Amino acid sequence: MLDLTPDELLTTTRTVRRRLDLQRPLDRALIEQCLAVAVQAPTGGNRQDWAFVVVTEAERKAAMADVYRRAWDRYVEQGVLAPPSRPDDPTERRQARRIGRSARHLVDHLHDVPAIVVACHHGRFDGRPAVVQASMYGSVLPAVWSFMLAARARGLGAAWTTIHLFYEEEFAQILGIPYAEVTQVAMVPLAHSVGVDFRPGRRAPVEDVLFWEAWESGG
């Protein structure tokens, strides 16, 4: 276990893609420990309607990586997700290119990552109102983040990804997930990290995103 203060833990748990150790075996007990910590995250009404599929088999990982590659190509081609908020900012453009190269690296190596965790929530929520969507995602995504934080404390690295959801049904078939009854919410490749010397990332100043009392009066 790394000796990290709460703030160190929360500010140095980064998206790890290039620094995933693809050679070093990953003990199942470590993954179980991370999950035992993760399920202490809150859920609406303490319902815990979550499930986590962890894949280590080579053939199944290869099938997942194939879907992920197609999802990535579609993501790049279509730019379906939200565009950058400041597309004319050269720093942001540079960063976007760097993230793009790192993400592409993950696409090319996903099949070699020791474990891939797919987080799920029971029920389908497509087209439901925001109050239901926020409740469902709010009842599983904190656990996903806790999982990544618990992994970081154990010298592991992970990356939060969602683009495989372009092909969620195909992914469900690969994993045997009953698509009509279960929503996938994130895919988290997991490995020992190459080194543990992660630093806080580049972020906009807090005053840019913090409004006191009302939207207009601050920020």
Binding segment for a second copy (CB under 8 A), chosen from 5-13, 18-26, 106-114, 189-197, is 5-13
Among residues 30, 104, 145, 170, the one that binds a second copy under rule CB under 8 A = 145
Rounded to a whole number of angstroms, the minimum distance from the CB of residue 103 to a second copy is 9
Q: Does 176 bind a second copy (CB under 8 A)?
A: yes
Which of residues 19 and 125 has its CB atom nearest to a second copy in the complex? 125
Q: Does 215 bind a second copy (CB under 8 A)?
A: yes
Binding segment for a second copy (CB under 8 A), chosen from 4-12, 17-25, 105-113, 189-197, is 4-12
Among residues 17, 50, 106, 111, the one that binds a second copy under rule CB under 8 A = 50
Nearest to 191 by CA among 158, 159, 161: 158
d(CA 198, CA 200): 7
Is residue 69 a contact partner of residue 109, using CB atoms and an 8 Å limit? no
Q: Does 90 bind a second copy (CB under 8 A)?
A: no
Strand, helix or coil for residue 8: helix
Q: Does 196 bind a second copy (CB under 8 A)?
A: no
Q: What is the CA radius of gyration of the chain?
A: 18
Max Cα–Cα distance, the chain, nearest Å: 55
Nearest to 115 by CA among 14, 36, 187: 187
